[in-house]
Amino acid sequence: MSGSISSASTGIATYLSAIKDEQAQVTKYVESSTTIQRTVANFESEASSLSNASAILKNYGALQVLTGAYNMSGQIDQTAILNAVMTQDPSASDSLVQESASTNYLHLAKATMDRSSQTASLGDAASLSLTTSGAAASTLTMENTAWSATDQTSTSPGTQWSFVLNDGTAQSSITAALDSAAEAAGFTSASYSISSTGTVTASGGGPAVTSSTDSAGNTTYTMALDTDSTGAITKQVQVVSVAVTAGTSATARTSQLDALTGAMTAAGFDASLSSDGTLSVIDPPTSGTNTLAPAFGKTIGVVTSSILRDDGSLALGATGKTLSVGDIITDGTNEIGTVASVDAEGNVTLNQTGDNTLSVGDDIEVATGLAFSNVGSTLSAQTAAAAGATTLALGKAGTALTPGQLLTAGGVTIGTVGSVDSSGTVTLLAGTTAAISAGESIVALPSVTSGTTAALSDAANVSAIASSYETSEYEDAMNDQSPGLGDALYYTRTMSGITSITQLMSDKTLLNVVTTALGMDSWFGALDYDQQVRILTSKVDLKDFTSSDGIKQTAEQYMIAESAKAAADAKPTGLVAMLMGESDSTSDLLSMIAGIDPSTTSSTSTDPTLSLFA
């Protein structure tokens, strides 16, 4: 008996020690294994060239990392299954992911799915115009796909973000963003103020605002616009005060953009900034909180007959009043023009005359996604240009411009870039709206484009896959060190993501931990599928089993059982045990001589399995 207690205590102690800081132990283990280091290094260096499932399946090293990362190493040679997982839409009802209910298949599918991306060309830091103080601080605004949805939930709330650069003197920009958000939500009298200690006060009946600090040290102000029956937020505005240092040098600008990227990352976005000033935001593999709205999103209806006039104006009535300068108007596919101004009647003046013919009842759309205010690249006109001129000479700095970028002078839109030649001469889509003097400052607003990024060209995704592979390799090694330890660690790490009995059954490691902890492992596998489902459904309450306490308790029970098995396997039996004085009964010897198992001689003995079906 004492041996059983000792082994159980040892098993639990080993598990509790291992889960204290598993990632630190993983790091140490990887540092000691040149094989794992080499495998991961090769995967990371080759990942960007693996643009589809076919290329991945031809690269055994990459396949080793991917299958290992998601507990599928035993299926590395099942290429037909792997190809189906990586090429089918995992949300489709007839996909292998849905039919199998395998969370590991789902993780592999997500890891290899192409994802939408949006990029903004901010230009060279030396010429970038940013404001970090006052009431007009530079701001990046985004909306997710759930923002305009009708089925918003607390797990995927509709969210609008405003990242405001703040050198410590831009509080008025923060409150202005909150005021604007409240007004857009119908709280026209709302007004906000922020005290020196950061406390937010609302007046005029505006929604309450709470504040928190993100992992980068920035303050996030959250305004709840809607909640569900439990009080959980389903629609919200988040204004992030991005802490930056004041300055206008190229070094200061680079630091400010780095802080912006860091704030976006802290908010859960896969954001990166390249050396040429391109800000990229890659959507997660499936719809969720951090999936940005598509390039064409807000639809408004045409309300007059002569809708697009020769002078470039668009008559939209009341809906036109919701537009802002810089909004890009489209017909859902092609760009019609960019808003230059909106009057009190909702008549929109465009910066160019489009070729599209619109009629009453047609729909037009307004591009969403990444939206910037008070952000741009400052260039200098090399020569004068008369009003209506179709070209502007902007010199070397102009070569960095891209088609579609808006050009402004003195805060007024003067044209849209059509093309740029090697000398920096810009051809506009329409003539300039004002005369330009030689040497006058021209500000180019960032151009935003939408596209698709191959999954393994996403550095953050590749890093996450590599990390999962390293963790899996460590857990496999722990199984060799202490029976069941690696599986217990895997269970602790992944069980919280299980939402159904079928998902549990699709993962043999998780299933083994649960059945062993419940004392069913010796006979459970002999039952048919329906019997297994019925037993698990009656014995496993997923709400309890996936809670942090439930996960820990089950893992500990599993370790007790595994330690007991290991102790039993190592313990002498039969005559050898008697000779060593380690047998509990002389019946062992009798059974050896007579060939009788004493445990079966009782007339009242029953098969424990049968009680489960009573």
| pLDDT tens string 527-565 | 999 999 999 999 999 999 999 999 999 999 999 999 888
pLDDT higher than 70, residue 582: no
Q: What is the pLDDT of residue 447?
A: 73
What CATH number does the domain containing 355 carry?
2.40.10.230
Q: Is residue 593 part of a domain?
A: no
pLDDT higher than 50, residue 415: yes
Q: Which pLDDT band holds residue 605 (cuts at 50, 70, 90)? A: very low
- The range of the structural domain enclosing residue 525 comes to 2-113+456-567
Q: How confident is the model over 413-441, as a mean pLDDT?
A: 88
Asked if residue 92 and residue 28 are part of one domain, the reply reads: yes
Counting Cα atoms < 13 Å in the Cβ hemisphere of 590 gives 8
Of 167-181, 256-270, 507-521, 563-577, minimum mean pLDDT range: 563-577
Q: Which pLDDT band holds residue 165 (cuts at 50, 70, 90)? A: very high
Residue whose pair of structure tokens reads 């605002």 in the numeric block: 209
Between helix 103-111 and helix 79-87 the angle, nearest 10°, is: 60
The tokens describing 455, both together, are 């999954």
Q: Which pLDDT band holds residue 433 (cuts at 50, 70, 90)? A: confident
Residue type, 598: P
The tokens describing 243, both together, are 């802490």
- Quote the CA–CA distance of 512 and 491 in Å, as a whole number: 10
Q: How far is CA 176 from CA 134, 173, 194, 612, in A?
A: 10, 5, 11, 65
Of 321-330, 369-378, 604-613, minimum mean pLDDT range: 604-613
Asked if residue 276 and residue 224 are part of one domain, the reply reads: yes
Of 3-12, 263-272, 504-513, 588-597, minimum mean pLDDT range: 588-597
Q: What is the pLDDT of residue 591?
A: 46
Between helix 548-570 and helix 485-494 the angle, nearest 10°, is: 170
Q: What is the pLDDT of residue 589?
A: 36
Asked if residue 341 and residue 216 are part of one domain, the reply reads: no
Q: How far is CA 219 from CA 136, 137, 141, 203, 371, in A?
A: 18, 16, 16, 21, 21
Asked if residue 130 and residue 276 are part of one domain, the reply reads: yes
Q: How confident is the model over 423-452, as a mean pLDDT?
A: 86
Q: Which pLDDT band holds residue 613 (cuts at 50, 70, 90)? A: very low
Rounded to the nearest integer, the mean pLDDT of the chain is: 83
pLDDT higher than 60, residue 369: no
pLDDT one-digit tens code per residue, 169-185: 999 999 999 998 998 88
Q: Is residue 476 part of a domain?
A: yes
CB 564 within 8 A of CB 4: yes
- Quote the CA–CA distance of 300 and 323 in Å, as a whole number: 10
**Backbone phi, psi, residue 204, to 5°:** 75, 20
Measured between alpha carbons, how far apart are the two ends of the chain, in Å? 32
Q: What is the pLDDT of residue 601?
A: 44
Q: Which pLDDT band holds residue 245 (cuts at 50, 70, 90)? A: very high
Asked if residue 320 and residue 440 are part of one domain, the reply reads: no
- Quote the CA–CA distance of 303 and 418 in Å, as a whole number: 29
Rounded to the nearest 5 degrees, what angle is found at the Cα of 398, between the Cα atoms of 394 and 402? Answer: 135
Q: How far is CA 429 from CA 157, 416, 432, 433, 440, in A?
A: 39, 6, 9, 12, 20
pLDDT one-digit tens code per residue, 19-43: 888 999 999 999 999 999 999 999 9
Burial tier of 564 (Cβ tally within 10 Å: 0-12, 13-18, 19+): middle
Share of the chain above pLDDT 70, in %: 80
Helix (H) or strand (E) holding 365: strand 363-367
Q: What is the pLDDT of residue 553?
A: 95
Asked if residue 248 and residue 144 are part of one domain, the reply reads: yes
Asked if residue 233 and residue 192 are part of one domain, the reply reads: yes
Residues composing the chain = 614
Q: Is residue 586 part of a domain?
A: no
Asked if residue 541 and residue 493 are part of one domain, the reply reads: yes
Q: How confident is the model over 367-382, as a mean pLDDT?
A: 79
More confident residue, 539 or 610: 539
Work out how many domains the chain is built from and give that number. Answer: 4
Last residue of a domain, one of 282, 311, 326: 282
Asked if residue 163 and residue 40 are part of one domain, the reply reads: no
Q: Which pLDDT band holds residue 602 (cuts at 50, 70, 90)? A: very low
CB 172 within 8 A of CB 164: no
Between helix 34-46 and helix 60-69 the angle, nearest 10°, is: 110
Asked if residue 542 and residue 488 are part of one domain, the reply reads: yes
Range ranked top by mean pLDDT from 91-100, 297-306, 358-367: 91-100
Of 364-368, 375-379, 524-528, 544-548, minimum mean pLDDT range: 364-368
Asked if residue 141 and residue 35 are part of one domain, the reply reads: no
- Quote the CA–CA distance of 392 and 402 in Å, as a whole number: 14
Q: What is the pLDDT of residue 365?
A: 61
Q: What is the pLDDT of residue 414?
A: 83
pLDDT one-digit tens code per residue, 181-220: 998 888 989 999 998 888 899 999 889 999 999 999 999 9
Counting Cα atoms < 13 Å in the Cβ hemisphere of 418 gives 15
- Quote the CA–CA distance of 505 and 531 in Å, as a whole number: 12
pTM for the complete prediction?
0.70
Q: What is the pLDDT of residue 8?
A: 58
Last residue of a domain, one of 305, 333, 367: 367
Q: How confident is the model over 49-61, as a mean pLDDT?
A: 96
CB 90 within 8 A of CB 102: no
Q: What share of the chain is helix, strand, coil (3-state, %, to 5)?
A: 40, 25, 35
pLDDT one-digit tens code per residue, 289-310: 788 764 433 444 444 443 555 5
Q: How far is CA 343 from CA 313, 314, 324, 340, 516, in A?
A: 11, 11, 11, 10, 72
Q: Is residue 125 part of a domain?
A: yes
Using the 8-state DSSP alphabet, how is residue 245 labeled? -
**Backbone phi, psi, residue 484, to 5°:** 85, -10
- Quote the CA–CA distance of 123 and 444 in Å, as a whole number: 9
Q: Is residue 126 part of a domain?
A: yes
Q: What is the pLDDT of residue 145?
A: 81
Q: How confident is the model over 48-56, as a mean pLDDT?
A: 95
Q: What is the pLDDT of residue 397?
A: 85
Cα dihedral 557, 562, 563, 567, rounded to 10, equals 140
Q: What is the pLDDT of residue 97?
A: 95
Q: Is residue 589 part of a domain?
A: no
Q: What is the pLDDT of residue 69?
A: 97
Q: What is the pLDDT of residue 7?
A: 56
Burial tier of 516 (Cβ tally within 10 Å: 0-12, 13-18, 19+): buried
What CATH number does the domain containing 389 carry?
2.40.10
- Quote the CA–CA distance of 325 and 350 in Å, as a whole number: 9
Rounded CA Rg of the chain = 32
pLDDT higher than 90, residue 348: no
Laid out side by side, the sheet with 425-428 consists of: 128-130, 375-380, 441-444, 406-409, 412-420, 425-428, 391-393
**Backbone phi, psi, residue 393, to 5°:** -90, 110
pLDDT higher than 80, residue 340: no
Share of the chain above pLDDT 90, in %: 53
Asked if residue 358 and residue 238 are part of one domain, the reply reads: no
Q: Is residue 327 part of a domain?
A: yes
pLDDT one-digit tens code per residue, 151-161: 888 888 999 99
In three-state form (DSSP H/G/I as H, E/B as E, the rest C), the secondary structure along 200-237 is EEEECCCCCEEEEECCCCCEEEEEEEEECCCCCEEEEE
Q: Is residue 605 part of a domain?
A: no
Q: What is the pLDDT of residue 575?
A: 43
Last residue of a domain, one of 548, 567, 586: 567
What CATH number does the domain containing 540 carry?
1.10.3700.10
- Quote the CA–CA distance of 241 and 239 in Å, as a whole number: 7
- Quote the CA–CA distance of 579 and 591 in Å, as a whole number: 15
Q: What is the pLDDT of residue 335?
A: 58
- The alpha helices in 325-399, defined as continuous H runs, are none
In the three-class reduction of DSSP (H, G, I as helix; E, B as strand; rest coil), residue 285 is classed as: coil
Buried-exposed string 128-161: b where 16+ CB fall within 10 A, e elsewhere: bbbbbbeeebbbbbbbbbbbebeebeeebbbbbb
